[in-house]
Structures are given as C-alpha cells and as structure tokens.
Structure 1
Amino acid sequence: MSGHSSYVPTNRFMRWVDARLPLPRLVYDSFVAFPVPRNLNYAYTFGGILSLMLGIQIVTGVVLAMHYSGNSALAFHSVEQIMRDVNWGWLMRYMHANGASFFFVAVYIHIFRGLYYGSYKAPREILWILGVVIFLLMMATAFMGYVLPWGQMSFWGATVITGFFTAFPIIGDPIQQLLLGGFAVDNATLNRFFSLHYLLPFMIAGVVILHIWALHVTGQTNPTGVEVKTKDDVVPFTPHATIKDGLGMVVFLLFYCWFVFYMPNFLGHPDNYIPANPLKTPAHIVPEWYFLPFYAMLRAITFNIGPIDSKLGGVLVMFGSIIVLFFLPWLDTSRVRSAVYRPIYRIFFWVLVVDTIFLGWLGSRPAEGIYPTLALIGTIYYFAHWLVILPVLGLVETPRKLPASIAEAVLGPNYASGTAAGAAPPSGSVSAPENR
C-alpha cells in the first residue's frame, strides 16, 4: 500500500537500523499503523489464525524431522520411537498431526468467509488467486505428510492417489513413476514424499508473504463490501485488530489443545497404527477428512463421457473442482460484494456450504448403493453453483441498498448528517489509505 509512513524511530540505535534496513518501519506500517475497516468481525481473524497454525506446523515438523527415519523399513518404528522415547515427542507428534486438521478447519472457514463477503472481487483478484495457490500447496503438503507414518492407510492412500495420474493418456505413467521413484509405492516414494513434505511448508510461507503483500496493496475487505472512503471508515491495526485477532487465536487454540490432549487420534484412522503391508488391502480406503469432498467427486463419475473413460473423468472433475476457484473473480457478475446485501445469493451460499459438507460425508461412505448417485448430484450442484448460478444471479438479482460508507454502516444512518453538521469524528480514527 502506498502512502507516507508515520514511523518515528525511538532512539539512536533504531534510527541507525532504519537508515540501513527499514525492517522496524515495515513491521510498524504493516501491523501497527496499518488502517483497517472499523467494522471487521471475528470471521476476519482466521487469516491471523492460519499464520499461527503455519508457524506451529513448521516448528513441530522440524523437531519431528530430527528423529524421523525416511526409510520404508524404519519409518513406522521411528514414529513409535518418537512417541515413546523422545522427550516430549508425543506432544510434538500430536500437535503436528492435529495441527494439519485444524489448519484445514481454519482455511475452509477463511475461504467461505471470502465467498460470503466477496473478497475475491476486483481489485483483489490476485489476492484471491494467491490464496487458492496456498490451498493447493497445503493439500499437497498434507497428502505427503499423511504418507510418512507408513501405516496401512498411509501406504494404500499413496497407492490410490498416485494411481490417479495413470488416467492421463501418454503422460500419466511417466508422472506416476517420477512421483513413486519406480513402479510401486516403496522406499524411493517415501524419500521423495519426506523431502517434499519438508520443503513445501516453506514454499507456503513464501506465498503467504505475497498474499499479505497483496492484501496491504489493495486493502482489507469488510462485511459491507464498501471500499474505504474517509478517515472515519478505518482504525489502526493495533490495538483494534490485534486484540480481536488475539482473542480469536486463544479461542481457536483452546479447541486445538482439547484435541491434542484429550482426543489426539479422533481425526485420524485406526488402520494407520498397523504397519504398511503391500499384500493386505484395507477394507475401506479413505483419505483424511479434509480431502473427503473432493474424493466424493472423484468417485461420483462412474460412467464414460464420450471418449473420456470414468477414471479420467473422475480425475478431471476432482482437479476441476479446485481449478474453477481460480476463475471465481470473473464468474461472479454481481457488482455488489457482500452477501449481506444479496438476499438470493445468501441462500445459494448456504446451500453450497451444505452441499460441500454433504459431499464430505459421502466421501467417507463406501462407493456402493445409493452413495455414488448422491455424490453425482452433489457434484453437479457444486459445479452449477460456480458456472451457472453465480453468472446468472449477478445479472438478475436486485441487491439491497448499500450504505454510503463503512462508518455509516457501523454508526447508523444519522452518522452522515451528524458529521455534516460539524459533529466531532469518532475517536481512534486514522488517515484513510491512499491510492486504493
């Protein structure tokens, strides 16, 4: 974000640092004086929560990597050794395993918040695209991390997921062999996944920096969807947003700690406490819960579509369910951002939430009976929401009247007349962001 910095070094040493490496100025401008809309609610705290969870995952992951053995003959037993013989190893392992699940809890809430308040609309298209890139990197990291314990579900999950690539003609088999390091899931596969699982979180951190940079250039959205217009629309990031983010983090960590200390295996699969056995297939292979909606879409395609067989069709649908998110800023044709002022869109939004949860449940069911049919119906609606409902709804829906400013939405309709009559502006105001 452009504009004059209000940072003033407090002593000679800080002036010396600021003249050579203005890092304190950057931190001050980004996290202290940065103006944020005064009407942000607790749904906006999940960006900070995600940064916290990323830090927890990196720290615990580095500690676990010090004791983990990336060898197919030793991996399972090294994890058990971490649990039993390494000081605080059980805590590091449970924090890391449950941290992955809570990372996805936070990111799904963060995504649906963005959908509800239209955070993907211009001029924030790149901000949204970077967020989808982070989501993809998270999914790759989580999948590879799930393989590392080398239990039954780890081994067979890797076998099934890497087998998807064989659906692509010509290039599929070479890609699968490159991932596996051979023709089957084995020691070379484990080494590759361990290396990539260690690397990808740092790539995520790099894209997160770009994501925050893009946020500071365009400015934060808000529940009304109205851009900042006056100095009364904003408040300083500190203490207003930091206190709210801090409280959100504490509450989120309470739930996280409850799982870590009281039900650490609730979100996992019991078969992963059985050593990997390539000669014995589990009765029901399922991925982690955060992949289940996409797994349901994959299995929903049980028929050929012209020259595309069912296997390739399922893989295309699964990948397409994420790729479509990249084009969301251009699929939504409405000029109004927030669902607060779009009553019809708000109904379809909640239907999408229910549909996604329903697909997640179907992904945990066996691929038999009525479940594939229900998954197909859920998949059709999922794509119809993005490709049909959003473009059409933006053209036919009549939104409610927007407030003239953020301050008016917060302080009421009498705000405009009060300030026009010479009333003092609300306390805590800061200069409005420039060049938005």
Structure 2
Amino acid sequence: MSEHSTYVPGNAAEKWLDERLPVVRFAKEHLMDFPTPKNLNYWWTFGAILVMCLGVQIVTGIILAMHYTPNVALAFDSVEHIRRDVNGGRIIQAVHSVGASMFFAALYIHIFRGMFFGSYKAPREILWILGVVIFILTMATAFMGYVLPWGQMSFWGATVITNIFSAIPVVGESLLQLLRGGFAVGNPTLNRFFSLHYLLPFIIAAVVVLHIWALHVPGNNNPIGVEVKDKRDTVPFHPYYTMKDAFAMVLFMIPFAWFVFFAPDILGHPDNYIMANSQVTPSHIVPEWYLLPFYTILRAIDFNVLFINSQLGGVIAMGLSMLALLVVPWLDTSKVRSGTFRPMFKWFYALFVLDFIALAYLGAQEAAEPYTTLAKVCTGYYFLHFFVILPVLSRIEVAKPLPTSISESVLGKAHS
C-alpha cells in the first residue's frame, strides 16, 4: 500500500477486498489518479491505441484458431472455410488481417513520436528498450501469421526469410532445421509457426505490462521535454486522458472499419490467394508492407566484404538496424530532450523519416536498377543517421532556450 494513498474504500465489500487484494486501490493510484503532464498532445494517444489493437488481435486470433487447421493440405482451405462458411468469419478474419496493418501503422507513429520528442533519454532508457523489444516481437509474430494462410507468398516468404538463419556461421544450418522442422518449409514449419504465432501475443502483452510499469516510474515525457516540477504541471490521468484516448481510439477505428468493410484484401498480395506450390516460384517475393524497410536493408547488401559474404552481410545489416534502435539513448547524448527546441535535429529527423519511407517503397520493388542502388543509398543513410549524425549533432548543435516549466509553456501559449 502507498504511504501517501488518498484512496478510501466506499463500502464494506470494497474494504474487505482492499485488505486482501488491493486491486481497486492500485487502479485508483496508478491508473486513475496518476499525475500526467498537462501538455500531452494527440501523438501521445497511440500508446492506448496500441493496447486496444493488441486486444483486438488476441481476441480475433483466438476465434480464428478455433476454425484454422495447421496442416499443409488443409490450411489454405480452412482459411477459405472461415471466410465463406463460419458465421461472421469474413468479418473476424478481415479484422485480424487489417488489424495487423493498423497495429503497425500505430506502432511506427508511436516509435517516430518517441524519436522526435526524445522519449528514449534518461531516465527512460529501459522504457524505450522494452518498447523496441515489443516491436521486434511484433514483427516476428506478424511474419509467422503471414505464413499461416499457406498461399504462394506465405510459402515463399517463409522460405526466403528462414534462409536468413543459414547465413549464421557454425550454427546456422542447425538453427534453420530447428526452425523449419526439416530440410525445407513444410508441415512441421507450419505447425511451429502456428504455435509461436498463438503464443507470442501473450508474451507481447506481458512485455507491454513491463513497458507501462517502466513508464510509471519516471512518468510521461511531454512535447517540450521539461520534467514535471510540481502539481501545477500535471492533471490526473482520469478523466482528462482517459477521455482524450477514448476519442482518439474512436477516430482510429474509422479508417480501421473502412478497410474491414470496404477493402479487406487491399493490403494483401494477390499471389497469396493462390494455394502454396513448392514447384512454382512467384516472379517477385515480397513480405507485408510493415516489414519492407528491414527487408530492403537485408537485400541491399548484395556484395561481399572481406571474409563476410553478401548473405551474412545482409543479416548483419538487418541485425544492426534493430540494434541501432536499442542503443539510440546512448547515441543521442544531447541534453535537450525535445526535437522542438533542436533546429538542426528537426531537419535530419525529417530526412530520416523520408529515408525510412523510401526503404519501405524500395522493398516492394524488384531487385533491379535503379532500385538496388537507391536501396544501398537509403540503407547507408539509415546507419549514418544513428551512428554519425546523432552523436555529432549532440556535440555541435545549439538548442533554443527551454521553458522553465510545463505550466509556463502552456500558459505562455494561452496568453500569446
């Protein structure tokens, strides 16, 4: 129990529960009354939107699993059975598949917001690292989910991506066979991916709990990046931010519903509506849109470097692209947290966002000129941003003066 608790049980039943399992007290202190900076804008609502998306994916996933058959001879037909014969199956399947794209759209906005406003800086490094872990686990879950419909792109995507492991020296082949359950993608692979695709969202949910816990220790960052000075800088989370988050969720559900009802297959690849055939290779193998930037980085390294062949080079580059996100709190050592007060950082940040979008576009193109050269340039800039630009900017940039407190910033806007 908190030493400074203001919670008083409302009745005898609540008092009885509070003495044995103080869940209501916990909710009131850590969720409802949690002091939150008063200047958070709508970019901060994507955390709540992501929790909602995860819930939607878990619920629809459990229902789909009741009707899905993880067998290479039956998987494709079982998905068609869900879409055509199961009551409400078409909508549930559409919500799940569109939900994956909406989840990643919100996830990328959440990450880029954190990068601009310096939400990774001390004392929030663990919070950021847990967020990146969630991102990596979500990518793995989404990839495995994409294999389950057992269409052409599912099969060949699984073949190409699992081949990555064979590039790892010494243990690569053993890892590949363990992952696939044999020498090629087949029934054991499908069973493994189905099991892991079902399990990982619950692990993600557990890491999300840690992520929220890590947020509640130092409290929220805010658009000006100035730490909370006193109670005047904050408002209780409920009702101020619960209402704001709820409104943002409703707005987010509008495009979500549009895709579900009017264009549920628009984000899928046409080849994935053809049953998997190991004898026919699609002309162009591409993963889902949300994996494309990292697929481009993997594919951009098509040359040998000293004793490292191109395949291993691609794997190292993709691994480094994830590592860069994990270690960004130590690469950007600027004392100023928010990009709002960093004039040079703003331009380089905008360039990085454009570079990331370009990487996504290039991942969907065939491996031919000029796309291969552009992919190398964009991959080079991705690493340049993290390992050169951010550390150098931290030393040379002159930031604008910061407000002394959140209240001064908010009231200053009101009077100007």
TM-score band w.r.t. shorter chain: over 0.9
1:227 aligns with 2:222: no
- AA in 2 matched with 1:13: A
Report the residue type matching 1:177 in the other structure.
Answer: Q
For the residue of structure 2 that corresponds to 1:66, the secondary structure is: helix
Displacement after TM superposition at 1:413 (Å): 8.1
Q: Which amino acid aligns with 1:15?
A: K
1:51 aligned onto 2:51: yes
Q: For 2:381 and 2:203, locate their aligned partners in 1 and report how far apart those are by CA, in whole Å.
A: 33
Residues 146-187 of structure 1, C-alpha deviation per residue, up to 9 Å, x if partnerless? Answer: 000000000000000000111112111000000000000000
Contact kept? 1:177, 1:183, Cα under 8 Å: yes
The aligned residue for residue 212 of structure 2 is 212
Q: Deviations over 1:246-269 (max 9, x none)?
A: 111011011101100011011111
Cα distance in structure 1, aligned partners of 2:33 and 2:9? 14
Q: Which amino acid aligns with 2:360?
A: G
Deviation of the 1:318 alpha carbon: 1.1
Q: Is residue 2:362 matched to residue 1:339?
A: no
Q: TM-score, normalised by structure 2?
A: 0.98
| Conservation of the 8 A alpha-carbon contact between 1:53 and 1:103 | yes
The residue correspondences of 1:254-265 to structure 2 (distance < 5 A) are 254-265=254-265
Partner of 2:146: 146
CA distance in 2, matches of 1:319, 1:350: 24
1:247 maps to amino acid: F
Gapped regions of structure 1 (runs ≥ 5): 416-436
Q: Deviations over 1:75-126 (max 9, x none)?
A: 0000000011111011110000000010000000000000010000000000
- Pairwise CA distance, 1:30: 2.1
Compute the displacement of 1:401 (Å). Answer: 0.3
Q: CA RMSD in A?
A: 1.2
* CA deviations over 1:368-424 (Å, ceiling 9, x no partner): 111111000001110010000000101100000000000001001899xxxxxxxxx
Q: Tell me which of the two structures has the higher relative contact order, counting C-alpha pairs closer than 8 angstroms and 6 or more residues apart.
A: 1
Q: Which residue of structure 1 aligns with residue 323 of structure 2? A: 323
- Residue 285 in structure 1 maps to residue 261 in structure 2: no
> Which residue in 1 is equivalent to 2:387?
387
Q: Does residue 89 of structure 2 align to residue 79 of structure 1?
A: no
**Displacement of 1:239 after TM fit?**
1.1
Match of 1:247 in 2: 247
CA offsets 1:41-96 (integer angstroms, 9 cap, x no match): 00000000000000000000000000000111100000000011111011110000
**8 A contact 1:408–1:414 mirrored in 2:** no
Q: Which residue identity does 1:108 align to in structure 2?
A: Y
Equivalence for 2:64: 64
Give the 5 Å matches for 1:287-302.
Answer: 287-302=287-302
Q: 1:184 to 1:90 in 2, by over 3 A?
A: same
Question: Aligned equivalents of 1:74 and 1:239: distance in 2?
Answer: 49
* Pair 1:412-2:397 in alignment: no
Residues in 2 aligned to 1:3 and 1:175: alpha-carbon distance in whole angstroms: 51
Q: Hey, what's the Cα distance between the residues in 1 that align with 2:5 and 2:330?
A: 34
**Does residue 1:136 correspond to 2:133, yes or no?**
no
| Secondary structure in structure 2 of the residue aligned to 1:235 | strand
Q: Taking every aligned residue pair, what percent have the same amino acid on both sides?
A: 61
Match of 1:428 in 2: none
1:110 partner amino acid: H
Residue aligning to 1:431: none
Cα 1:341–1:3 change in 2 (3 A) is farther
In structure 2, C-alpha distance between the alignment counterparts of 1:198 and 1:314, rounded to whole Å: 29
The one-letter code of the counterpart of 1:381 is: Y
* CA distance in structure 1 between the aligned counterparts of 2:163 and 2:261, rounded to whole angstroms: 36
- Counterpart of 2:304 in structure 1 is 304
Q: Structure 1-normalised TM-score?
A: 0.94
